[in-house]
């Protein structure tokens, strides 16, 4: 079995060289020494094994709302770190048990809400990498690590993956345990992964997801549904034109494509999702905010105050609306004969500047429904920035989604 200690210096050299500009990682003065010790301990723990564990020696970036033993959790905030301490996250337990090394904490928007960190898009440093899992997406896109962990409440895995030109996978809500992760909105929050390709995401999913099953063999390509209506029209002209090219490539590759009228009530879906999100974020910060309000950035504080204004009855009504939408999603797919949905992963390419993380509007309904989603790099905008194709499935169909996305990835590679 190879010794991962031999790779840690190269890893740290790479991070030192590339992260001066990209700023994907939270600063860690003793990263090299810590990684050498972690690699040596990992090698010793598995020295008697006849085969390498599935993620052996792979360096992983971990979003800084996910607790890691030996590293402080700051959540992109000035709130004192000692207020945010807790047990190591289950997802990190699983990574380390599978032989992975924690390369470091990656930058997050403050408390994974809206206030962006300093990370820049590796494809063009003048543009946003997306959010809130900005550092995780950028670390993979820049080639610093081949796997990173993020979270998605609305669009914080799929959107930055699309902006940075990597694969992002958001499982069905609850498939990866969130214990040890600082909440944003608990009934929406989902741990996800970033990788250079679908194969890398699949390898991580098999380790991290509860009850992962080997994908079955399929004798026909999946039928791809396009959700026509006001939702799809939220993408800009450039993203829609690229999406239509992607649809043509998929059809040419033998994938049946069906246009399905869906989400005529999209504005109401957006409104109800907002109520759920803001109500829950306010409750998550019910203890911290009164004590540490002076440390919060204005975007985060504003979201919490909005949540204070949501009545309990309106929140409960929004939860009922979400349950109805979750039931409607697979029913609509069955009626249309669609196996998967396809759509733009973001309303356009990464915006210029890092004052905003861009819009999550194309990711919102699938997160609201708790459905799995995956984005693959699929095209380039006129300015050369990546554009992603988002593929989603019915809740619980993660194995099917990932298995079929390998062929989709090949068909749309731009």
Instruction: Tell me the catalytic residues.
Output: 63, 132, 156
Contact 367, 338 (CB under 8 A): no
Please tell me the distance from the alpha carbon of residue 383 to that of residue 117, in angstroms, as a whole number. Answer: 23
Sign of CA dihedral 244, 248, 251, 253: negative
Classify 178 as helix, strand or coil.
Answer: coil
Nearest to 109 by CA among 175, 70, 63: 63
Q: Where does 32-107 show beta strands of DSSP type E?
A: 59-63, 101-106
Contact 78, 230 (CB under 8 A): no
Residue 99 falls in which region: left (phi positive, over 0), alpha (psi -120 to 50) or beta: left
HEC per residue, 55-67: CCCCEEEEECCEC
Please tell me the distance from the alpha carbon of residue 285 to that of residue 288, in angstroms, as a whole number. Answer: 5
Classify 23 as helix, strand or coil.
Answer: coil
Rg of the chain (C-alpha set): 20
At a CB cut-off of 8 Å and minimum separation 6, what does 323 contact? none
Please tell me the distance from the alpha carbon of residue 50 to that of residue 1, in angstroms, as a whole number. Answer: 8
Q: Encoding tokens for residue 147?
A: 């796997």
Contact 165, 141 (CB under 8 A): yes
Please tell me the distance from the alpha carbon of residue 98 to that of residue 42, in angstroms, as a whole number. Answer: 10
Please tell me the distance from the alpha carbon of residue 135 to that of residue 121, in angstroms, as a whole number. Answer: 9
Number of H helices, E strands in the chain: 13, 10
According to DSSP, residue 377 is labeled E
Q: Encoding tokens for residue 413?
A: 């590679």
């Amino acid at each position: 079995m190879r010794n991962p200690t031999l790779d840690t210096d190269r890893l740290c050299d790479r991070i030192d060289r590339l992260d001066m500009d990209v700023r994907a990682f939270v600063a860690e003065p003793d990263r090299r020494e810590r990684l050498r010790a972690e690699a040596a301990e990992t090698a010793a723990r598995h020295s008697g094994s006849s085969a390498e564990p599935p993620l052996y020696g792979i360096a992983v970036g971990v979003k800084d709302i996910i607790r890691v033993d030996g590293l402080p959790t700051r959540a992109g905030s000035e709130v004192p770190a000692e207020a945010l301490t807790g047990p190591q996250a289950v997802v990190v337990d699983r990574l380390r048990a599978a032989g992975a090394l924690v390369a470091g904490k990656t930058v997050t928007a403050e408390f994974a809400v809206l206030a962006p960190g300093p990370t820049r898009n590796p494809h063009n440093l003048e543009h946003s990498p997306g959010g809130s899992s900005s550092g995780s997406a950028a670390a993979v896109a820049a080639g610093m690590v081949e796997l990173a962990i993020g979270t998605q409440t609305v669009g914080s895995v799929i959107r930055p993956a699309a902006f940075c030109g990597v694969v992002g996978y958001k499982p069905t809500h609850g498939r990866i345990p969130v214990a040890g992760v600082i909440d944003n909105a608990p009934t929406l929050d989902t741990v996800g992964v970033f990788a250079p390709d679908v194969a890398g995401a699949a390898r991580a999913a098999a380790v991290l997801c509860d009850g992962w099953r080997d994908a079955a063999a399929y004798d026909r390509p999946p039928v791809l549904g396009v959700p026509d209506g006001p939702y799809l029209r939220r993408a800009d002209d450039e993203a829609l034109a690229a999406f239509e090219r992607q649809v043509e490539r998929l059809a040419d590759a033998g994938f049946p494509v069906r246009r399905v009228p869906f989400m005529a009530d999209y504005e109401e879906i957006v409104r109800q999702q907002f109520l759920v999100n803001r109500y829950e974020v306010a409750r998550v910060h019910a203890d911290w905010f009164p004590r540490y309000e002076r440390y919060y950035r204005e975007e985060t504080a504003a979201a919490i105050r909005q949540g204070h204004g949501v009545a309990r009855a309106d929140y409960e009504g929004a939860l009922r609306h979400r349950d109805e939408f979750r039931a409607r999603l697979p029913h609509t797919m069955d009626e249309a004969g669609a196996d998967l949905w396809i759509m733009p992963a973001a309303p356009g390419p990464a915006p210029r500047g890092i004052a905003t993380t861009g819009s999550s509007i194309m990711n919102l309904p699938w997160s609201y429904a708790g459905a799995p989603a995956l984005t693959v790099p699929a095209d380039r905008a006129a300015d050369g920035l990546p554009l992603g194709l988002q593929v989603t499935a019915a809740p619980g169909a993660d194995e099917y989604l990932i298995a079929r996305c390998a062929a989709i990835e090949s068909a749309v590679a731009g």
